[in-house]
Amino acid sequence: MEKIYKLQGFLVGYNWYGVKGISKIEITTRKKGLREIETEPLQDFTGYGFQSIVYICLDVYEKVYRENKKYLVEMESKEPIRRIEQGEYNLTEEEEEFIYDPAIEPLKIIRLK
């Protein structure tokens, strides 16, 4: 049996020029990566254009794989098993519309630790 966690949500941060930015985000990771994110949610996202993160909100979904000689069964939680949230939420109405716009794809990060 193997468990993979999918974290979906958004983050708010600033670039090196002090400009505020928002990014939808989807992280796929294993248990160790999930623990690292839970321990320090506002961790370093400099590789993705942010100098500092001031708010993050992630819903955690669990995907379980089980296999026997004939089948591989994949089960995914329909509802989040928990939420990771840290920082100060101070978004405008326009920024909130961006987050919930289904046409905007999230930044996808795979951390298989």
Q: Are 57 and 85 spatial neighbours (Cβ–Cβ below 8 Å)?
A: yes
What is the tally of structural domains in the chain? 1
pLDDT 10s digit of each residue in the chain, 113 long?
889 999 999 999 998 899 998 999 999 999 999 999 999 988 867 777 888 899 999 999 999 988 888 888 889 999 999 999 999 988 889 888 888 888 888 888 887 76
Domain span including residue 52: 2-111
pTM of the predicted model over 0.75: yes
Which of 57, 23, 43, 52 has its CA nearest to residue 111? 43
